[in-house]
Amino acid sequence: MMMQALVVLLLLLSTVASAQQPVAGTERLAWNHDGINVTRFELAVDGGAPAPVTVTMAGVDYTAPLPALTPGTHTLTLAACNIAGCSAPLSISVRVVVIPSPVTNLRVSP
Protein backbone atom coordinates (compact mmCIF):
# COMPACT_ATOMS: atom_id res chain seq x y z
CA MET A 1 0.00 0.00 0.00
CA MET A 2 1.41 3.34 -1.01
CA MET A 3 1.02 5.98 1.68
CA GLN A 4 0.81 9.59 0.69
CA ALA A 5 2.60 11.77 3.18
CA LEU A 6 3.57 15.32 3.80
CA VAL A 7 7.01 15.57 5.29
CA VAL A 8 8.14 18.42 7.46
CA LEU A 9 11.85 19.11 7.49
CA LEU A 10 13.59 21.11 10.18
CA LEU A 11 17.08 22.16 9.17
CA LEU A 12 19.68 23.06 11.74
CA LEU A 13 22.94 24.45 10.39
CA SER A 14 25.65 24.69 13.07
CA THR A 15 23.83 26.32 15.98
CA VAL A 16 21.42 28.40 13.91
CA ALA A 17 17.94 26.93 13.50
CA SER A 18 15.56 27.80 10.71
CA ALA A 19 11.78 27.55 10.75
CA GLN A 20 10.12 24.32 9.73
CA GLN A 21 9.64 23.83 6.02
CA PRO A 22 6.99 21.54 4.57
CA VAL A 23 8.47 19.27 1.92
CA ALA A 24 6.68 17.01 -0.51
CA GLY A 25 9.61 14.84 -1.55
CA THR A 26 10.84 16.89 -4.50
CA GLU A 27 13.03 19.28 -2.49
CA ARG A 28 16.80 19.14 -2.79
CA LEU A 29 19.81 19.53 -0.55
CA ALA A 30 21.64 22.75 -1.49
CA TRP A 31 25.13 24.13 -0.79
CA ASN A 32 27.87 26.36 -2.22
CA HIS A 33 31.36 25.38 -3.38
CA ASP A 34 33.96 27.03 -5.62
CA GLY A 35 34.27 23.81 -7.67
CA ILE A 36 38.06 23.91 -7.59
CA ASN A 37 39.77 20.50 -7.31
CA VAL A 38 36.52 18.65 -6.63
CA THR A 39 35.50 15.54 -8.59
CA ARG A 40 32.56 14.45 -6.44
CA PHE A 41 30.53 15.21 -3.32
CA GLU A 42 29.86 12.50 -0.75
CA LEU A 43 26.88 12.41 1.60
CA ALA A 44 26.59 10.35 4.78
CA VAL A 45 23.33 9.84 6.67
CA ASP A 46 23.40 9.28 10.44
CA GLY A 47 27.10 8.45 10.53
CA GLY A 48 26.79 5.80 7.84
CA ALA A 49 29.22 5.26 4.99
CA PRO A 50 29.58 8.29 2.71
CA ALA A 51 28.28 7.80 -0.82
CA PRO A 52 28.65 9.95 -3.94
CA VAL A 53 25.62 12.10 -4.76
CA THR A 54 24.38 13.23 -8.16
CA VAL A 55 24.63 17.00 -8.24
CA THR A 56 23.30 19.84 -10.33
CA MET A 57 25.54 22.89 -10.53
CA ALA A 58 24.88 26.54 -11.38
CA GLY A 59 28.01 28.60 -10.76
CA VAL A 60 28.90 28.04 -7.09
CA ASP A 61 25.40 26.76 -6.22
CA TYR A 62 25.02 22.98 -6.01
CA THR A 63 21.96 20.85 -5.35
CA ALA A 64 21.28 17.13 -4.96
CA PRO A 65 18.13 15.11 -4.24
CA LEU A 66 17.44 14.55 -0.57
CA PRO A 67 17.99 10.91 0.36
CA ALA A 68 15.03 8.80 1.46
CA LEU A 69 14.62 9.37 5.20
CA THR A 70 12.45 7.68 7.79
CA PRO A 71 10.49 9.77 10.32
CA GLY A 72 12.69 11.16 13.08
CA THR A 73 15.88 13.17 13.42
CA HIS A 74 18.79 12.51 11.07
CA THR A 75 22.24 13.99 10.51
CA LEU A 76 23.32 14.64 6.91
CA THR A 77 27.06 15.14 6.40
CA LEU A 78 28.45 16.42 3.07
CA ALA A 79 32.08 16.65 1.90
CA ALA A 80 33.83 17.71 -1.32
CA CYS A 81 36.17 14.99 -2.60
CA ASN A 82 38.79 14.21 -5.23
CA ILE A 83 41.43 11.53 -5.81
CA ALA A 84 43.49 12.84 -2.84
CA GLY A 85 40.60 12.55 -0.34
CA CYS A 86 37.73 14.56 1.07
CA SER A 87 37.42 17.96 2.71
CA ALA A 88 36.25 18.46 6.26
CA PRO A 89 32.53 17.66 6.18
CA LEU A 90 29.65 20.02 6.92
CA SER A 91 26.65 18.60 8.77
CA ILE A 92 23.02 19.56 9.22
CA SER A 93 20.34 17.92 11.32
CA VAL A 94 16.95 17.25 9.80
CA ARG A 95 13.75 16.19 11.51
CA VAL A 96 11.26 14.35 9.33
CA VAL A 97 7.65 14.19 10.49
CA VAL A 98 5.05 12.30 8.47
CA ILE A 99 1.55 13.73 8.62
CA PRO A 100 -1.28 11.16 8.18
CA SER A 101 -3.11 10.94 4.89
CA PRO A 102 -6.39 12.88 4.69
CA VAL A 103 -9.71 11.46 5.79
CA THR A 104 -11.87 10.14 2.93
CA ASN A 105 -15.55 9.38 2.46
CA LEU A 106 -16.76 11.71 5.24
CA ARG A 107 -20.53 11.37 5.68
CA VAL A 108 -23.39 11.33 8.20
CA SER A 109 -24.37 7.78 9.06
CA PRO A 110 -27.58 6.58 10.77
Whether the full predicted model's pTM is greater than 0.75, yes or no, is no
Q: Kindly tell me if the per-residue pLDDT of 27 is higher than 80.
A: no
Q: How far apart are CA 95 and CA 69, in angstroms?
A: 9
Q: How many H helices and E strands in the chain?
A: 0, 11
pLDDT in tens, 60-94: 999 999 888 888 888 999 999 999 999 999 999 88
Find the angle CA(74)-CA(80)-CA(86) to the nearest 5 degrees: 95
Of these ranges, 27-31, 52-56, 71-75, the one predicted with the greatest mean pLDDT is 52-56
| 37-60 average pLDDT score | 95
More confident residue, 79 or 1: 79
Please report, rounded to a whole number, the percentage of residues in the chain having pLDDT higher than 90. 56
pLDDT in tens, 12-23: 333 333 434 444
| 25-54 average pLDDT score | 92
